[in-house]
């Protein structure tokens, strides 16, 4: 028993140190490293026939640094770059990009392209030459997505077992849950209401799509994108699910329940009473994400 107690105290001490380190990234700049300073690299990410606008916040130090791919939502007005800066101060690189047809990236926007673009970002980080240039660890990649970015992160991580962990911030269902509740023969009847929802979100930053084209895409892919069905593929990895008062909690709760049913043991949830952009909970949001990242193996 004394040995077990000492082990428990050691684990608690390590977790405490990790939390303190994570919290310091909210308020304290790291010591300058003249040989390997913190930096920003802007580039064009090759993605299925288009060069996407992208950047990497490179952490100070020789590394190799673990890397977060930070995925923005639909259409992407909240970019969460304050979160990216905090993650970098905690010793992580952060890759941020704009999907096909969004915010000036060439091509046509679609949910399918957004998923493919995420795979392209993962492949970029796994390229040995690119990893060396970024001082990054090609084997230690985490996906973090907000809103539609959470929809994409969840799907991409489920189909790539080498992704170390995933964090979902008000992950949207992109109307998949609605379509899945309708018998297949009648799903086309939902297109108009789904299209109206997308139009109300604001599509000015998006090119090559219409509200109806996106609605038809959801209807055509709803079964493949079924959210609870993704849970078994993620059950062995750490998952963070953060929700707010934006109406998306039921879908996320159903996904968490599916994770637990699949045997997941490393699921952390947090609800913050705020809006979809976490407008008055930015520090709480960053704190939760940093604490989660600090617990991951290899960090």
CA distance to 50, 100, 153, per residue, from 242 (Å): 32, 26, 14
Stretch 17-29: mean pLDDT, rounded?
Answer: 69
Q: Please tell me the distance from the alpha carbon of residue 115 to that of residue 190, in angstroms, as a whole number.
A: 23
Peptide bond into 64 cis (omega under 30): yes
Query: What percent of the chain is modeled with pLDDT above 90?
Result: 88
pTM: 0.92
Q: Is the pLDDT of residue 147 over 80?
A: yes
Average pLDDT on 35-60 reads 96
Residue 210 has pLDDT above 90, yes or no: yes
Q: Which two tokens stand for residue 136?
A: 């990054």
CB atoms within 10 A of CB 292: 21
CATH superfamily of 2-26+36-173+227-294: Alpha/Beta hydrolase fold, catalytic domain (3.40.50.1820)
Residue 3: per-residue pLDDT: 55
> pLDDT at residue 2 above 70?
no
Q: Is the bond leading into 241 cis (omega within 30 degrees of zero)?
A: no
pLDDT at 177 over 50: yes
Q: What is the average pLDDT value for the chain, to the nearest integer?
A: 93
Q: Among candidates 248, 113, 75, which has minimal Cα distance to 171?
A: 248
| Spans of all domains in the chain | 2-26+36-173+227-294
Mean pLDDT for 116-123 is 98
Taking the C-alpha atoms of residue 108 and residue 101, their distance in angstroms, rounded to an integer, is 4
CB 174 within 8 A of CB 211: no
Residues 6+ apart with CB under 8 A from 18: 291, 294, 295
Determine phi and psi for 77, rounding to 5 degrees: -65, -40
């Amino acid at each position: 028993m004394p040995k077990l107690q000492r082990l428990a105290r050691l684990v608690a001490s390590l977790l405490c140190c990790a939390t303190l380190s994570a919290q310091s990234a909210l308020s304290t700049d790291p010591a300058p490293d003249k040989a390997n300073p913190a930096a920003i690299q802007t580039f064009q990410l090759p993605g299925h026939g288009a060069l996407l606008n992208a950047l990497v916040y490179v952490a100070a130090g020789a590394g190799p640094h673990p890397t977060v791919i930070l995925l923005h939502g639909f259409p992407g007005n909240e970019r969460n770059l304050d979160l990216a800066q905090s993650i970098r101060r905690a010793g992580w690189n952060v890759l941020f990009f704009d999907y096909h047809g969004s915010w000036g990236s060439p091509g046509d926007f679609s949910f399918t392209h957004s998923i493919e673009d995420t795979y392209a970002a993962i492949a970029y980080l796994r390229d040995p030459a690119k990893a060396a240039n970024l001082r990054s660890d090609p084997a230690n990649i985490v996906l973090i997505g907000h809103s539609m970015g959470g929809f994409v992160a969840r799907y991409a991580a489920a189909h790539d077992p080498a992704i170390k962990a995933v964090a979902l911030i008000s992950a949207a269902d992109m109307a998949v849950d609605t379509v899945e509740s309708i018998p297949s023969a009648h799903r086309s009847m939902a297109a108009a209401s789904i299209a109206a929802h997308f139009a109300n979100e604001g599509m000015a930053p998006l090119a090559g799509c219409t509200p109806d084209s996106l609605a038809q895409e959801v209807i055509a892919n709803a079964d493949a994108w079924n959210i609870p069905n993704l849970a078994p593929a993620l059950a062995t990895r750490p998952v963070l699910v953060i929700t707010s008062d934006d109406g998306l909690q039921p879908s996320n709760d159903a996904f968490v329940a599916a994770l637990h049913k699949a045997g997941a043991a490393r699921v952390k949830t947090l609800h913050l009473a705020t809006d979809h952009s976490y407008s008055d909970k930015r520090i709480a949001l960053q704190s939760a994400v940093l604490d989660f990242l600090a617990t991951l193996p290899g960090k």
